[in-house]
């Protein structure tokens, strides 16, 4: 299998999984090291801080180690692992939900221009900074819909909200991202518009 080629530490994903199932802590540590960055890249999109992302990463690994027996070895490990990380992120979001921000889709003002002029390439760090400024409920819905590919009905079920609230949160997230982009990356245009 292509996904099961030898990695930098000399073990395939399948070998690491087998070692973890047999209870060998060396393999757990190697699996953690191999997939830590991957897990963090998912969690940072769903949490408001790197500290909370780290907690979700660790919770995800605990779930992985507890459930390795249910992993289908005929499928790529990273896909199964990613699903656990996303679900753990959503569980954390629901646990930490402080404010229930609901917004009717009809209360969102129409905008004539949907996309800002893009004058430069954004780095991953720039994009993460923009996402960090979004309210948590908007960021979570945006990630689930735009990045993970869930439907609004699925998101509603996962988060315990109506599909229309999911749609509204997505629309509002996109609107705020446009405003944040203009504010942080188009300062010259903002000055001209103010005149």
**How close are the terminal C-alpha atoms of the chain, in Å?**
61
19-26 long-range contacts (CB < 8 A, ≥24 apart) are 20/65, 20/68, 21/68, 21/69
pLDDT of res. 62:
96
For 127-155, how does the pLDDT look when each residue is reduced to its tens digit (9 = 90+)?
A: 777 878 888 899 999 989 988 889 999 99
SS3 call for 2: helix
pLDDT of res. 9:
65
Confidence of residue 112 (pLDDT cuts 50, 70, 90): very low
CB 42 within 8 A of CB 82: yes
d(CA 141, CA 168): 10
Confidence of residue 7 (pLDDT cuts 50, 70, 90): low
d(CA 103, CA 83): 28
For 38-97, how does the pLDDT look when each residue is reduced to its tens digit (9 = 90+)?
A: 999 999 999 888 899 999 999 999 999 999 999 998 999 999 999 999 999 999 998 887
Q: Is 135 left (phi over 0), alpha (psi -120 to 50) or beta?
A: beta
Task: Compute the mean pLDDT over every residue in the chain, rounded to the nearest whole number.
Answer: 81
List Cα–Cα distances, 38 to 32, 35, 59, 76, 81, in angstroms. Answer: 10, 5, 14, 14, 9
Domains, the chain? 2-95 (1.10.1740.10), 105-194 (1.10.10.10)
Higher pLDDT, 104 or 70: 70
pTM: 0.68
Give Rg (Cα) of the chain: 20
CB 68 within 8 A of CB 90: no
Report whether pLDDT(190) > 50.
no
């Amino acid at each position: 299998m292509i996904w099961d080629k030898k990695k930098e530490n000399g073990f395939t994903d399948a070998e690491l999984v087998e070692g973890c199932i047999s209870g060998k802590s060396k393999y757990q540590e190697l699996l953690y090291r191999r997939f830590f960055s991957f897990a963090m890249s998912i969690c940072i999109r769903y949490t408001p801080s790197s500290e909370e992302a780290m907690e979700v990463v660790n919770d995800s690994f605990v779930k992985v180690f507890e459930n390795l027996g249910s992993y289908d070895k005929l499928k790529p490990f990273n896909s199964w692992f990613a699903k656990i990380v996303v679900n753990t992120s959503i569980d954390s979001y629901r646990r930490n939900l402080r404010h229930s921000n609901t917004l009717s889709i009809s209360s969102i003002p129409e905008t004539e221009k949907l996309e800002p002029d893009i004058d430069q390439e954004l780095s991953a760090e720039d994009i993460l900074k923009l996402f960090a400024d979004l309210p948590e409920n908007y960021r979570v819905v945006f990630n689930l819909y735009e990045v993970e590919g869930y439907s609004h009905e699925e998101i509603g079920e996962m988060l315990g909200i109506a599909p229309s609230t999911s749609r509204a949160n997505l629309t509002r997230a996109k609107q705020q991202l446009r405003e944040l982009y203009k504010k942080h990356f188009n300062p010259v245009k903002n000055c001209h518009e103010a005149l």
